[in-house]
Chain A
Amino acid sequence: MELHAQQLHYREVNQWLRRCSQDGIHHVTLYGIRGHRYIGTGLNNSLRIQIHGTAGNDLGAFMNGGEIVVYGNAQDGVGNTMNAGRIIVHGHASDVVAHSMRGGTIFIRDDVGYRAGIHMKAWGTNPPLVIIGGTARDFLGEYMAGGTLIVLGLHDSSAPLVGSYVGTGMHGGVIYLRGTIAPYQYGKEAGLQPLTADDWEYLQHTLAPFCEEFGFNLEEVLDHTFCKLVPLSRRPYGRLYEGAVGAINSHG
């Protein structure tokens, strides 16, 4: 099924998608997407959506299955609070990619904006995975509580791989960076670790479908320095507060 959405409101596009989903259609293609918001929001089954154009904010928010492939760029909030499924962007994505994402996979071929992977979590047997082919800006993986973030910097070698405040407040999950990171760039709640043999095996296995999707050479991608950021504690702010009992009330 196909829809030419150029003259339509996002609400109409989503109504149409819901109808397709109810009718048991497995594959749809949207043309003329010009910043339409919320495409695939709450997508709950095996529907595969191909998008030609620029996907608007909150693409695949609360997504719970299925697949979205964008041939173009995506705006803010890709995979907001996503639970399951797969989002693939053949282009750039803007701010807050994978905000509070809990499960599923997001592949972004090129760069992402600020706050990617912020407060990502992990739950059950489907921990979230976000792979960014280009670079990421500040606050990558801030407050991160679970899942895996990988930033590859495959395109413009002169651009910084990541910004500052990476992993600030991190208390779960792992961030792999293809390259290095200076101490001033990451939060004091995160720690840098060298990759183990298990990490390399994991990267090989995890990056293979990403490289296949976008036509990158897996061996070339892996033939590079990588570093790994992990949380130093599962309770980064435990010592901020005084927990003594029975010391609140005044003498009256």
Chain B
Amino acid sequence: MKNFLPSDFLVHIGPECILCGRCVRECSFGALEQKEGHIIAHHARCVACQRCVVFCPRSAIAIVPHPSTSRHNAYWTPELRRALLRQAQTGAILLAGAGNDQPYLNIWDHLLLDASQVTNPPIDPLREPMELVTFIGRKPDRLEITADENGEWKLVTELPPQLKLDTPIIFGAMSLGAVNLRVHKILAEAARRAGTLFNCGEGGLHEELYPYGQNTIVQVASGRFGVHQRYLDAAAAIEIKIGQGAKPGIGGHLAGEKVTEEIARTRMIPAGTDALSPAPHHDIYSIEDLAQLIYALKEATNYSKPVGVKIAAVHHVAAIATGAARAGADFLTIDGFRGGTGAAPLVIRNHVGLPLEIALAAVDDRLREEGIRHQVSLIASGGIRSSADVIKAIALGADAVAICTAALIALGCTLCQACYTGRCAWGLTTQDPELIKRLDIEEGVERVQNLLRAWTLEIKEVMGALGINAIESLRGNRERLRSIGLDTHTQEVLGIRPAGM
């Protein structure tokens, strides 16, 4: 069949080119070729990952949107027509990588933070301590304290297991398979150095990462890949993955080609077979069934570590969240629709789910109304882009946030959305040994650690401006948020007043 698809991009090679061929070697999508003293660009293959642009020693390359155009049509957008043509040529479900890129309302950027002036003076974070330590886990209904004979206070209440985070930012779940072992090593080491956690996702924990167990959340998903007693024992906490913000309601298929020996060993399946994560857990069809798995995991680990549940932000997220909390979850990860993915059907990624901001406010409200907010910690994930988003998420009700895409961007990701092809030019979402080599572990750790450090400092700056010296005073403190340009209903759901009121 003839290919009717126009190219997305035009690779422009300028006169500065010295024909060194670096760009050809860097391009993992076959878009550049050196032939008879020329660099030839196969524009249709370019995904605009910027690898050649960044590594050209003469800065000779520019990738631009393809300038040829068809008649403007605001309804039949080029994107829609292109998807339609792809389907006419393949008859298949279209895949997409990374997160929802559609122009839905972005609520973060309609929220403004407060600051202290005169009557409630700000705090200078350079001189005064700012407490960012966050504990994730179920909190008791009340604390019983007694004094011993020397007048020393002692806690009588036995506390449920808690995770201690030095900063309220953890790394979210990305499976080995979606990303490669070097990415896992970088996140695990960065988490250890920063006193926080990484989440190994649903593809098991590689043998070399067991020493990072106390900085690791392990996942139990519908495929149960790599789940065994040692895996559960090694972790600081266990997360049952019910859903993912980028693809609520569906499972995942890691293609057989990507199930290399190493991934097969970690997932504990034969190499070369599809790793199918079914849409539901076959043993969970109700909140009672969820409770059963939560307690199976608590029994298996002798109640020694928190067991949480990750759900995608969907229409009835508050009801689901309160059900999961009552089912025994010690923490809930709420994953918004901007959250990333290694591969999801385009139709799901672009059209299913809710903004994290809405879901977070709705869940926090519902848990408070039911008087059980203290029983469960909330981790907000799905499209957290900056320290401002972190602060706003906490003010909307989160205990901590999880980041994934932001960490990948720190490592070179340019959001070209071709993760599902396995050809990531930046060595992140690929299992090709030659491409993986492009990711330097030590430098990667430094980049991600720097990102955490910078955001943590910024959070302290903003807390100082707010006159708040402990992050827990900001949690669910929506009084310190105002909205600008949001409609009344959205403000009501968020529990936020408009700016000026």
Binding site for B on A (CB under 8 A): 10-11, 14, 18, 37-38, 41-42, 44, 57-58, 61-62, 64, 76-77, 80-81, 83, 96, 99-100, 102, 115, 118-119, 121-124, 142-143, 145-146, 169, 171-172, 234-252
Contacts of A244 in B (CB 8 A): 86, 90
Taking a contact as CB atoms under 8 Å apart, the answer to whether B283 and A77 are in contact is: yes
Known: A14-B299, A169-B276, A251-B66. A242 touches B269 (CB 8 A): no
Which one of B9, B29, B278, B345 contacts A245 once the chains associate, using CB atoms below 8 Å? B29
Verify if B48 is at the interface (C-beta below 8 Å from A). Answer: yes
Interchain Cβ contacts under 8 Å between A and B, 6 examples: A41-B296, A42-B232, A57-B292, A99-B283, A100-B282, A119-B282
Which one of B95, B273, B296 contacts A58 once the chains associate, using CB atoms below 8 Å? B296
The distance in angstroms between the C-alpha atoms of A11 and B65, with both chains bound, is: 62
Contacts of A246 in B (CB 8 A): 8, 29, 31, 44-47, 418
Q: How far is the CB of B252 from chain A (nearest CB, A)?
A: 11
Interface residue SS majority, chain B: loop
The distance in angstroms between the C-alpha atoms of A179 and B29, with both chains bound, is: 52
Q: How far is the CB of B32 from chain A (nearest CB, A)?
A: 13
Taking a contact as CB atoms under 8 Å apart, the answer to whether B8 and A249 are in contact is: yes
Taking a contact as CB atoms under 8 Å apart, the answer to whether B44 and A250 are in contact is: no
The distance in angstroms between the C-alpha atoms of A99 and B70, with both chains bound, is: 53
Task: Find the B residue at minimum CB distance from A247.
Answer: B86
Verify if B453 is at the interface (C-beta below 8 Å from A). Answer: no
Taking a contact as CB atoms under 8 Å apart, the answer to whether A172 and B270 are in contact is: yes
Taking a contact as CB atoms under 8 Å apart, the answer to whether B283 and A76 are in contact is: yes
The distance in angstroms between the C-alpha atoms of A249 and B300, with both chains bound, is: 46
Task: Find the B residue at minimum CB distance from A83.
Answer: B228
Q: How far is the CB of A78 from chain B (nearest CB, A)?
A: 11
Taking a contact as CB atoms under 8 Å apart, the answer to whether B229 and A44 are in contact is: yes
Contacts of B228 in A (CB 8 A): 62, 64, 81, 83, 102
Taking a contact as CB atoms under 8 Å apart, the answer to whether A237 and B274 are in contact is: yes
The distance in angstroms between the C-alpha atoms of A171 and B256, with both chains bound, is: 11
Taking a contact as CB atoms under 8 Å apart, the answer to whether B229 and A64 are in contact is: yes
Q: What does the 1/0 interface line of B219-235 toward A look like (CB < 8 Å)?
A: 00001100111001000
Taking a contact as CB atoms under 8 Å apart, the answer to whether A171 and B44 are in contact is: no
Which one of A102, A234, A251 contacts B274 once the chains associate, using CB atoms below 8 Å? A234
Q: How far is the CB of B47 from chain A (nearest CB, A)?
A: 4
Taking a contact as CB atoms under 8 Å apart, the answer to whether A250 and B223 are in contact is: no
The distance in angstroms between the C-alpha atoms of A31 and B272, with both chains bound, is: 46
Q: How far is the CB of A242 from chain B (nearest CB, A)?
A: 4
Contacts of B300 in A (CB 8 A): 38, 41-42, 61-62
Which one of A77, A115, A242 contacts B90 once the chains associate, using CB atoms below 8 Å? A242
Taking a contact as CB atoms under 8 Å apart, the answer to whether B302 and A248 are in contact is: no
Q: How far is the CB of A86 from chain B (nearest CB, A)?
A: 16
Contacts of A234 in B (CB 8 A): 256, 272-274
Taking a contact as CB atoms under 8 Å apart, the answer to whether A251 and B282 are in contact is: no
Q: How far is the CB of B422 from chain A (nearest CB, A)?
A: 9
The distance in angstroms between the C-alpha atoms of A192 and B229, with both chains bound, is: 36
Task: Find the B residue at minimum CB distance from A62.
Answer: B300
Q: How far is the CB of A121 from chain B (nearest CB, A)?
A: 5
Verify if B477 is at the interface (C-beta below 8 Å from A). Answer: no
Taking a contact as CB atoms under 8 Å apart, the answer to whether A250 and B95 are in contact is: no
Which one of A11, A83, A102, A124 contacts B299 once the chains associate, using CB atoms below 8 Å? A11
Task: Find the B residue at minimum CB distance from A121.
Answer: B269
